[in-house]
Structure formats: structure tokens, C-alpha cells
């Protein structure tokens, strides 16, 4: 591996700290370099198409569709799919038996519900039918009128949280929120003036 | 495992544990000229390699929550190593209904690698609580006894803050505080109207260079560990100078199992398991300083049974493991629509609050003794997993609306954390579980824990205060807590605030206390305890600063006694 890695930067930084040297400038440069290095390392690694580690193709397809419906692409930013939320959820699920039960079972529940109602699995339903299902399971109050929805609602709540996790920990999601930080500053600027009191 | 491998040399002191208390003892004792063997149950820490400073969540496949999302419950995968509520192979048990939670770190520096850096002095009244309200016990020392050591600790480790002249929150030797964040200014304004003090926080983070350590660079990631050592950790600030004396021998992966005692009843050293080789080894020492963390130290003393000390070492009072307390913790969140108008800006700052609310209702007509302080967080923090759980719960739905709501509401929440004083009670203690050992063969702790009526009322008061502040600031209080049943008013399970102390308390009377006014065991003159265990009360001031001040003071006393030939 040629060039300078994040580890090298931080190691030098730590040695500098021990020696009590030139450090007033270095943390900022180190931050920049650390971020750039990680980006370069990622860009140079063979990306390719993600192969799901846990969900079989049909379930993964359903998961992708649901993630996209929960946080879609809009005029401001890409959506949960572009942000890699399905990959993130699949990875965690492959390592967590509780998620396997909740999400795997939930996806089955969804298809059972759809076949009972529309004689198709969720992915095969028309956009109108899919929207109708989502309107059922996206709100807790619906379980009051139809208690058979409650497990689907619980599943969707969990998936909604995980989709937000996947989206808002991505570069797309963090930029969507206009978070500014994770950098070295010489001084903390404090609160900017409030627009209007 | 049949043969014990003894250390060839006899050290002046064997210190057990390398966190705040043990690290401080190792520093003071070695700088004072003594040879020290420092036993640490975990491995070494390498800040450059181990600390995840500046890493974005998307730089790693698990986005900060770790394999299977399971690091989330242990403060995420970016937390400075290491720490967990459960450690494989090293269990602890809870009596029915106790549900005690114990966060442990097995690594050089212990929990100081990631702690919250909140560095508050106890107040004069905190040492005289019984005199004041008739409950519990007074300390055998006063604030004036400890004040010089608070000065020394603050001067050495670096703590920012401001002089406020509040009797309940004594001023210290402070570096300048960082500027307040927007959400903190909003709380301050509301507090002014309510006559509640809201003052600059006091954190062990450098806002100016100090003793060769550079100033903070305001990335807000202290919990990940700081590569530039701009915040305090034992591993970066106490162990290195001890090492430089040439008199410190650091032994890692050493699980202390018993303090050895001679026929004269004095400690002769420590038996430990070398985790790497599974061999039983021992260190010979003229004195022993136990600083393994309050409960771990109680465990070690209780496991050190001999003919001379059948109930465990230094336990003639029966108080080892007793008087266990944690801080009362209850949390709340407010949504502040006015913050939606704030332009995007860098809100990071130091790794912790810049403002806080010290306890203010002294002498008030409260229906509980003692008090609590309030810690602030929230605002435009770096997005992370879990950040929108509460919002999703509140607004539900999906699609473009949900996304727009998240965008609009990001950074508009202020979180309040109440941290209050628990009064020791007879139903809360730790003891040796008669049936269970850990993978090293060492009998484990069994916890008993019960919140008293005082603590529940305090949690109720916290909830009311949070709501009053939010309402006054024009926000909407979002937290709903139940008023009865288990854990009412959002009170956290015991141990959750990670301020467990008191299990070998100091006292003037050997019949009701384990240690004397110098953290020296009443029963064993060459045995000291210098972590959270000696604390007589657990006031609403996070214990680490006091642990270090007590450890410094005890170590100076030990040095003196060693010079006089009394150890």
C-alpha cells in the first residue's frame, strides 16, 4: 500500500502529542487527510453489485422496495436505496437473530397479507395496491379498527427506524440534513445569530 | 494451574486497576519514589490505532452500530475501547427484581478512555449530609481536607469552567469555557425566567494547551477517545508520567483474584490469573492499593478470605459491598420549533455539554433529601443510528412527508439528563454469588438493588423541571413517563448511570466503615482502596474528579507512611 494511511496520520499525530510539538495546526490537517484517505481507499476497492448476505432474492427485493418507499428520492437528495439502507439492513440482519425473526417474519406477514387481499406478493402488487398496504401498516391507530394489522404495524415501525438509521448515517443523508462538523477547529465559533427573535 | 508463579521481586506497592483511581495512585506513588506493579485486567490501549476520531458512520459497513447492531447498547462501535454491560465469560448476577446493570472496561485506563469528562467538585455540604438532614452518614473528612487535592487534580488534568460562587457547586482551577451552543442558550434564557441557574459546564477537556497536551479541536467526539489527548484519560495523562519514572511495571491481562495476607494480618501481595496463559501468578508487595472500580474492588476484598479474615479482607465491619449507590437518572426531550429557523452551522464543540444546570433548590421544601443536576445535549449533532427513532414513533408514516419532517426537525430537540443523589439503603448491596464463578474461576458478584421513595420523588421532580424549562422556552415537551409500577418517572435501572460507588466506605468508626480518612483499611494498615468504593455519599456530582482527589490524597499519605517506615 503506497501513500499515507489514516493510521499513519494518527500515529504521527500521537507521537507529536507525546513530544508536545507543532500540534496547533496538525489536527485540522489530520482530519482532512483522514477523510480523504478513507474516501480514496473506498473508491479504489472493488465495489460491484451488493449480494445480500441474509435475505433471499424475493425478500431482498421487497426490502429494497420498502426502504425506497419509506425514504424516497426527492428534489433535495437521493433516497434510502441510493444511500445503501437495504445493504445496511441486510448486513445487520445476517448477524442478528432477533432482526431475522422480526424482519424476516415481517416480510412474510406482508406477503401473506398481500396475497390474501390482492392475490399477489407485495412486489407484484400495483403501485396503488402497495400504497394502500403502506397506508394500513404505517400508522398505529389502524390497529384499533383492525387488530389483525398490529404485527404488520410493529414490523413496519422497526423497518422504518432501521431505514432512517441506514439513510441518515450515509453521506447522502448527512448532507440532506446539512450537518456541518466532524472536523478540527482552532476555536469553537458558538451559536450564530438567530435569524429573528 | 497447580503451581503459583511468584514474582521474583517485591514491589513497594501493587496497584490493582489502571483507571482514574489506580492511574492516579500509580502516578503519585512512582513520582514519590516507590516501585509499583500495576495490574490491569484488560489489554493495552493504542490511541492512534484504537480511537475512531473523525470517522464518519458511512466509513464503516456497520455505520457505528457494530456487528448485528449490537454495539448500539454499549454506546456504539466508535466508543473508545472498551466497555460493555456484558462481558463474555465474566458474568455478574442480580437478585430477583434487582436488575442491576454494570458497565465494565477491561483495558488500560478503564472507563476513563470514554467517560463523559464531567468534572464536578463535591460541595462542603456533601461531606456533612447527615449533620444537615439526619440521613445516612457524614464523611470522616471535610471539603477543606479535599480542596487542595481538587486544586492539584484540576491543575494537572485541565478542567474548563467559570467562577460562579455557588455554595453547592464549588469553583475550581478552571480553563476558559467554550462558547455556548444554540440550544444551551435557549435553555439558559428559560432558566433565567425560572430562577434556575444555568452555567458553563465543567469538563476535563483542554481549551488551552496544558503540560504538552494540545488544546481541544472541537470535534465533539471525546467518547471515541482523543488521539491528541486533549481530554483527560488515565491511559494518556496518568500512566505515561508514571511510566517515565522507570518505577512502574504495568502488567496487563492480569485478573486479580485475591489479596494475599501474612500471618500478621498484613497484605503481602496479590494473586492473579494471567489471562493470556491461564496461569496463576502472584505479585509480592509491601502495600496494596485496590482501585478496580467500586464493585470489582468489593468483589476482590470479599474473595480474599483467610483464617485471619474469614468474611473477606478489611470486612470486620461487614460493610464491604454495602452502601452501594448509583446516580438517580431520568431523561427528557423537548422539541423547539424556533430552532427550525437556525441556519446550518457547526454545533459540535467539545465532547459534552458547554452549559449545565447545577442543583439549585438548597433549603427548599422538597419532598426528597439532597438534589440533582441537569445535563444538556441535542441540537445539530452528527447524525447517527437511532437519532430519528423518537420522531418516527411520534409522526409515523413514510415517504416524502417523513423525509421532509426529519429534515425540518433535525437539530430542534434538546435533551435533558437529570443526575441525582441516591441515599444508601439496606436493600442495595453486592455480595459474592455462592454458585457462580467467571471463566477465570473467580467467584462473581450478585447485586441487590432497590430505589427508595426518595429517589422516585427526585425523578418525578426532574420530569417536572424538564417540562417547566421546555414550556418556558416555547417548546413542546415530548417525554411521557408512567407514574407508577416499575421504574416510574423514567428512573433508570440501578447501575445505568455508571456512577456506582460506596462499597467500601470511609468513616471514623471501624465498626461502621471499611476505610479510615486516608482510604486506608481499618483492619489492614498496608491496604488502601482508591476508586469509587470509599465514597460515603454519592452527591449529584459525577464521582471521577473526587475519586482522583481522594486517590492523590491517599497516595501522598501512603508515601509519607512508607517514609516513616509504618507500612
Q: What is the pLDDT of residues A125-158, one digit of tens each?
A: 999 999 999 999 999 999 999 999 999 999 999 9
| Spatial CA neighbour of B495 closest among B442, B450, B437, B544 | B450
Q: Which residue of B has its CA nearest to A177?
A: B407
pLDDT attached to residue B53: 94
Residue A7, pLDDT above cutoff 90: no
Mean local confidence (pLDDT), A19-40: 56
Residue A21, pLDDT above cutoff 50: no
> Chain B contact for A95, CB < 8 A?
yes
What average pLDDT does chain A have? 86
Q: In what order do the strands lie in the sheet with B372-378?
A: B199-200, B355-357, B372-378, B413-420, B328-335, B476-477
Of A38, A177, A188, the CB nearest to B218: A188
DSSP per-residue codes, B194-208: HT---EE--BSB-SS
Q: Give B-chain residues touching A178 at CB under 8 angstroms.
A: 344
> Chain B contact for A71, CB < 8 A?
yes
Interface touch B178/A183, C-beta < 8 Å: no
pLDDT band at A49 (very low <50, low <70, confident <90, very high): confident
Q: What is the largest CA-CA distance in chain B?
A: 77
Residue A26, pLDDT above cutoff 70: no
Going by C-beta distance under 8 Å and a sequence separation of 6 or more, which residues neighbour residue B452? Answer: B422, B423, B425
ipTM score of the complex?
0.93
Element (H, E) at A44: helix A26-44
| Spatial CA neighbour of B379 closest among A164, A71, A192 | A192
Q: Give B-chain residues touching A51 at CB under 8 angstroms.
A: none
Q: Which residue of A has its CA nearest to B391?
A: A161
pLDDT band at A1 (very low <50, low <70, confident <90, very high): very low
Mean local confidence (pLDDT), A116-130: 97
pLDDT band at A14 (very low <50, low <70, confident <90, very high): low
Q: Which of residues 166-185 of A touch B (CB under 8 A)?
A: 166, 168-171, 173-174, 176-185
Residue A25, pLDDT above cutoff 70: no
Distance of residue A120 Cα from the nearest chain B Cα, in angstroms = 22
pLDDT attached to residue B343: 94
Do B43 and B252 form a contact (C-beta atoms < 8 A)? yes
Write the burial class of residue A14 (CB in 10 Å: 0-12 exposed, 13-18 middle, 19+ buried).
Answer: buried
pTM, two decimal places: 0.94
User: Hey, what's the cell of B102?
Assistant: 454494570
Do B551 and B544 form a contact (C-beta atoms < 8 A)? no
pLDDT attached to residue A20: 39
> Chain B contact for A91, CB < 8 A?
yes
Interface touch A190/B403, C-beta < 8 Å: no
Interface touch A183/B219, C-beta < 8 Å: yes
For chain B, 567 residues long, give each residue's pLDDT as a single digit of tens: 456 777 779 999 999 999 999 999 999 999 999 999 999 999 999 998 899 999 999 999 999 999 999 999 999 999 999 999 999 999 999 999 999 999 999 999 999 999 999 999 999 999 999 999 999 999 999 999 999 999 999 999 999 999 999 999 999 999 999 999 999 999 999 999 999 999 999 999 999 999 999 999 999 999 999 999 999 999 999 999 999 999 999 999 999 999 999 999 999 999 999 999 999 999 999 999 999 999 999 999 999 999 889 999 999 999 999 999 999 999 999 999 999 999 999 999 999 999 999 999 998 789 999 999 999 999 999 999 999 999 999 999 999 999 999 999 999 999 999 999 999 999 999 999 999 999 999 999 999 999 999 999 999 999 999 999 999 999 999 999 999 999 999 999 999 999 999 999 999 999 999 999 999 999 999 999 999 999 999 999 999 999 999 999 999 999 999 999 988
Residue A10, pLDDT above cutoff 60: no
Interface touch B217/A184, C-beta < 8 Å: yes
Q: Which residues of B5-21 are buried (b: 16+ CB within 10 A; e: fewer)?
A: eebeeebbbbbbbbbbb
CB pairs under 8 A between A and B: 221
Report the distance separating Cα B267 and Cα B528, nearest Å: 10
Q: Give B-chain residues touching A29 at CB under 8 angstroms.
A: none
Report the distance separating Cα B70 and Cα A44, nearest Å: 29
Report the distance separating Cα B80 and Cα B70, nearest Å: 16
Q: Give B-chain residues touching A38 at CB under 8 angstroms.
A: 55-56, 59
pLDDT attached to residue B517: 98
Residue with cell 486506608: B520
Of A140, A169, A173, the CB nearest to B396: A140
pLDDT attached to residue A13: 54
Tell me the C-alpha to C-alpha distance, in Å, between residue A100 and each of A5, A55, B20, B131, B233: 36, 9, 41, 57, 39
Of A72, A99, A191, the CB nearest to B399: A72
Report the distance separating Cα B435 and Cα B356, nearest Å: 45
Q: Give B-chain residues touching A195 at CB under 8 angstroms.
A: 341-343
Q: What stretches of B34-107 adopt beta strand conformation (E)? A: 36-39, 93-94
Report the distance separating Cα B324 and Cα B538, nearest Å: 9
SS3 B423: coil
Of B54, B383, B398, the CB nearest to A168: B383
Q: Which of residues 138-157 of A touch B (CB under 8 A)?
A: 138-140, 156-157
Mutation target to probe the B interface, by most B beta carbons within 10 A, among A27, A34, A71, A135 is: A27
Distance of residue B487 Cα from the nearest chain A Cα, in angstroms = 24
pLDDT band at A41 (very low <50, low <70, confident <90, very high): low
Report the distance separating Cα A83 and Cα A68, nearest Å: 10
Distance of residue B343 Cα from the nearest chain A Cα, in angstroms = 8
Amino acid at each position: 500500500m503506497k501513500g499515507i494511511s489514516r493510521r499513519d496520520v494518527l500515529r504521527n499525530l500521537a507521537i507529536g502529542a507525546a513530544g508536545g510539538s507543532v500540534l496547533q495546526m496538525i489536527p485540522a490537517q489530520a482530519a482532512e487527510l483522514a477523510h480523504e484517505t478513507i474516501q480514496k481507499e473506498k473508491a479504489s476497492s472493488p465495489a460491484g453489485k451488493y449480494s445480500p448476505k441474509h435475505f433471499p432474492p424475493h425478500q431482498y427485493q421487497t426490502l429494497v422496495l420498502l426502504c425506497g418507499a419509506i425514504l424516497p428520492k426527492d428534489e433535495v437528495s437521493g433516497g434510502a436505496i441510493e444511500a445503501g439502507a437495504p445493504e445496511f439492513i441486510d448486513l445487520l440482519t445476517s448477524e442478528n437473530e432477533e432482526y431475522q425473526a422480526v424482519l424476516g417474519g415481517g416480510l412474510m406477514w406482508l406477503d401473506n397479507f398481500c396475497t390474501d387481499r390482492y392475490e399477489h406478493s407485495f412486489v407484484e402488487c400495483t403501485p396503488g395496491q402497495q400504497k394502500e398496504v403502506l397506508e394500513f401498516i404505517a400508522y398505529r391507530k389502524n390497529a384499533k379498527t383492525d387488530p389483525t394489522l398490529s404485527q404488520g404495524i410493529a414490523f413496519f415501525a422497526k423497518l422504518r427506524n432501521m431505514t432512517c438509521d441506514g439513510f441518515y448515517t450515509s453521506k447522502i443523508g448527512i448532507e440532506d440534513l446539512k450537518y456541518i462538523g466532524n472536523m478540527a477547529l482552532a476555536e469553537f465559533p458558538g451559536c450564530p445569530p438567530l435569524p429573528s427573535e | 494451574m497447580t503451581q503459583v508463579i511468584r514474582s521474583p521481586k517485591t514491589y513497594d506497592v501493587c496497584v490493582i486497576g489502571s483507571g482514574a483511581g489506580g492511574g492516579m495512585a500509580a502516578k503519585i506513588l512512582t513520582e514519590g519514589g516507590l516501585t509499583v506493579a500495576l495490574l490491569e485486567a484488560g489489554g493495552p490501549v493504542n490511541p492512534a490505532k484504537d480511537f475512531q476520531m473523525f470517522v464518519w458512520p458511512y466509513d464503516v459497513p456497520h455505520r457505528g452500530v457494530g456487528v448485528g447492531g449490537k454495539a448500539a447498547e454499549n454506546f456504539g462501535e466508535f466508543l473508545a475501547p472498551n466497555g460493555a454491560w456484558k462481558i463474555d465469560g465474566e458474568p455478574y448476577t442480580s437478585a430477583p427484581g434487582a436488575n442491576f446493570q454494570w458497565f465494565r472496561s477491561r483495558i488500560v485506563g478503564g472507563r476513563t478512555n470514554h467517560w463523559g469528562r464531567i468534572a464536578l467538585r463535591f460541595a462542603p455540604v456533601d461531606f456533612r449530609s447527615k449533620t444537615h438532614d439526619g440521613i445516612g452518614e457524614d464523611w470522616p473528612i471535610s471539603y477543606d481536607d479535599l480542596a487542595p487535592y481538587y486544586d492539584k487534580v484540576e491543575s494537572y488534568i485541565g478542567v474548563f469552567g467559570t467562577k460562579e460562587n455557588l455554595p453547592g457547586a464549588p469553583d475550581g482551577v478552571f480553563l476558559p469555557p467554550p462558547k455556548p451552543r444554540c440550544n444551551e442558550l435557549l435553555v439558559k434564557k428559560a432558566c433565567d425566567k425560572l430562577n434556575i441557574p444555568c452555567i458553563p459546564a465543567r469538563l476535563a477537556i483542554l481549551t488551552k494547551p496544558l503540560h504538552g497536551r494540545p488544546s481541544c479541536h472541537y470535534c465533539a467526539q471525546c467518547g471515541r477517545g482523543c488521539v491528541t489527548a486533549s481530554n483527560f484519560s488515565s491511559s494518556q495523562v496518568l500512566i505515561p508520567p508514571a511510566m517515565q519514572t522507570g518505577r512502574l511495571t504495568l502488567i496487563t491481562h492480569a485478573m486479580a483474584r485475591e489479596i494475599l495476607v501474612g500471618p500478621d494480618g498484613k497484605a503481602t501481595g496479590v494473586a492473579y490469573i494471567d489471562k493470556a496463559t491461564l496461569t496463576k501468578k502472584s505479585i509480592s508487595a509491601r502495600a496494596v492499593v485496590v482501585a478496580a472500580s467500586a464493585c470489582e474492588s468489593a468483589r476482590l476484598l470479599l474473595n480474599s478470605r483467610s483464617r485471619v479474615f474469614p468474611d473477606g479482607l478489611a470486612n470486620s465491619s461487614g460493610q464491604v459491598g454495602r452502601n452501594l449507590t448509583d446516580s438517580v437518572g431520568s431523561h427528557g426531550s423537548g422539541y423547539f420549533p424556533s430552532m427550525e429557523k437556525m441556519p446550518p452551522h457547526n454545533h459540535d464543540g467539545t465532547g459534552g455539554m458547554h452549559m449545565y444546570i447545577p442543583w439549585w433548590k438548597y433549603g427548599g421544601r422538597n419532598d426528597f433529601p439532597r438534589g440533582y443536576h441537569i445535563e444538556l445535549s441535542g441540537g445539530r449533532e452528527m447524525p447517527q443510528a437511532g437519532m430519528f427513532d423518537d420522531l418516527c414513533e411520534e409522526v409515523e408514516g413514510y415517504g416524502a412527508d417523513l423525509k421532509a419532517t426529519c429534515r425540518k426537525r433535525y437539530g430542534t430537540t434538546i435533551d435533558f439528563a437529570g443526575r441525582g443523589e441516591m441515599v444508601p439503603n439496606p436493600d442495595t448491596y453486592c455480595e459474592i454469588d455462592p454458585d457462580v464463578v467467571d471463566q477465570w474461576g473467580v467467584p462473581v458478584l450478585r447485586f441487590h438493588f432497590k430505589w427508595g421513595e426518595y429517589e422516585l420523588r427526585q425523578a418525578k421532580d426532574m420530569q417536572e423541571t424538564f417540562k417547566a424549562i421546555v414550556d418556558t422556552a416555547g417548546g413542546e415537551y415530548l417525554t411521557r413517563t408512567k407514574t407508577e409500577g416499575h421504574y416510574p418517572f423514567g428512573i433508570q435501572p440501578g447501575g445505568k448511570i455508571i456512577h456506582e460507588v460506596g462499597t467500601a466506605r470511609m468513616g471514623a468508626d471501624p465498626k461502621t466503615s471499611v476505610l479510615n480518612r486516608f482510604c486506608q483499611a481499618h483492619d489492614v494498615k498496608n491496604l488502601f482502596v482508591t476508586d469509587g468504593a470509599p465514597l460515603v455519599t454519592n452527591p449529584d456530582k459525577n464521582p471521577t474528579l473526587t475519586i482522583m482527589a481522594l486517590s492523590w490524597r491517599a497516595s501522598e499519605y501512603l508515601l509519607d507512611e512508607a517514609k516513616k517506615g509504618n507500612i
